[in-house]
Amino acid sequence: MDSRRRKAYWICQITGWSVYAVVNVVFASFFRTLSWEAALPNLMLGALGLGLTHLYRNYVRRKGWVRLPLRRMIPRVLLASVGIALVMTTVMLVVFVSVFGVVAPEEFRFGVALIMLFNLSATMLLWSLIYFGLHYFWNYQRAEVERWKLESAVKDAELRALKAQINPHFLFNSLNSVRALIVEDPERAQQAVTRLAGLLRHTLRSSERATTSLEEELNAVRAYLELEAVRLEERLRYEIDADAAALRAPVPAMLVQTLVENGIKHGVATRTEGGELRVTARMNGAALRLRVENTGTLGAEASPDAVGMRNARERLRLLFGAGAALTLTGADGKVVAEVVIPLEDRP
């Protein structure tokens, strides 16, 4: 607990019980003339209340009552309040009788005790109400702030996922190439703009729905590769080869695109001599088998893209079940990403 709250607690305790004692003294003075003898028991009562409620509060804190559900907390609080009131009543009666020697008829003393017990129970309940009420309010506020933080974190993550779908480096480099082409080869510049628009449209649409047909995905991949070829020129050599039967199969939107982008990034763009990339799609029984193959060695892309690969795997599993798989293997100067999507129970 922070010191600010501890301070607030002590201020409330001391002020509360002082006011309680003073009010009692004032009331007593209506019946009897004000004297030390009449005031002292009431001041004692205040001090006793302060002490007992402090012990009560320490116990409540240690047992974590504040976090209990209401139906378990209310009986405990009721019992504790009456219990404390009982202790206070007993102590006060013993003090009255033995120290001050106040004598009263037996039955009258019993009546006074009952009234006192009732009053003190009410006082203790009020104390509990304030104590637990304040804690509820604080916890509620904190929970609200936590919820708000969580919400913004989720939004942030979603946004980042969307942004990650098109590599900004690629986007700006492409725009730069287009700018150069406008002077050099206006016709190719026009083609490039159209392809960029197609790719952006596919990317935006993919944020709205989870899967797309392989045909649409490959169209976007083709547009992407053509744009990369404008940029990388003769350094990029690529091929796309898909069965007609495979084209209608559903795939996670942007999955092939992500794999191809990775292949270019690690297998072509970072190599002075460039490289090759090959995409194949085949129906294998009731499963779609996708391969993205590029020049390069696995070491360079396995670790930095671990997160990307894990995300892609997770998406595949969520969309197509445990039968879907994504593997990344490297051999003979080639890296192969292979995706298997089971399609039995799909139209």
Partner 1 sequence: MKALIIDDERLARNELRRLLRAHPEIAVVGEAANADEAEAAVERLRPDLLFLDVQMPGRSGFDLLAALDPVPAVIFTTAYDQYALRAFEVSALDYLVKPIEPARLAAAVEKVLAHPPAAPSSGARLTADDRVFVKDGDRCWFVRLGDVRLFESEGNYTRLYFGREKPLVYRSLSYLEDRLDPKTFFRANRKHILNLKRITSIDAWFGGGLRARLEDGTEIELSRRQAQKFRERMSL
Give the footprint of partner 1 on this chain (CB under 8 A): 168-169, 171-173, 175-177, 179-181, 183-184, 230-233, 235, 269-272, 274
When the beta carbons of 222 and 235 are compared against partner 1, the nearer one is 235
Q: Least Å distance between CB 149 and partner 1?
A: 25
When the beta carbons of 86 and 229 are compared against partner 1, the nearer one is 229
Query: String of b and e for 305-333 (b: at least 16 CB within 10 Å)?
Result: beeebeebbebbeebbeeebebebeeeee
Q: Least Å distance between CB 174 and partner 1?
A: 9
Q: Least Å distance between CB 171 and partner 1?
A: 8
For the chain, give the secondary structure using H, E and C.
CCHHHHHHHHHHHHHHHHHHHHHHHHHHHHHCCCCHHHHHHHHHHHHHHHHHHHHHHHHHHHHCHHHCCHHHHHHHHHHHHHHHHHHHHHHHHHHHHHHCCCCCCHHHHHHHHHHHHHHHHHHHHHHHHHHHHHHHHHHHHHHHHHHHHHHHHHHHHHHHHHHCCCCHHHHHHHHHHHHHHHHHCHHHHHHHHHHHHHHHHHHHHHCCCCEEEHHHHHHHHHHHHHHHHHHHHHHEEEEEEECCHHHHCEEECCHHHHHHHHHHHHHHHCCCCCEEEEEEEEEECCEEEEEEEEECCCHHHHCCCHHHHHHHHHHHHHHHCCCCEEEEEEECCEEEEEEEEECCCCC
When the beta carbons of 75 and 168 are compared against partner 1, the nearer one is 168
When the beta carbons of 274 and 342 are compared against partner 1, the nearer one is 274
Q: Least Å distance between CB 196 and partner 1?
A: 13
Q: Least Å distance between CB 173 and partner 1?
A: 4
When the beta carbons of 80 and 164 are compared against partner 1, the nearer one is 164
Q: Least Å distance between CB 335 and partner 1?
A: 16
Q: Least Å distance between CB 326 and partner 1?
A: 27
When the beta carbons of 187 and 345 are compared against partner 1, the nearer one is 187
When the beta carbons of 269 and 341 are compared against partner 1, the nearer one is 269
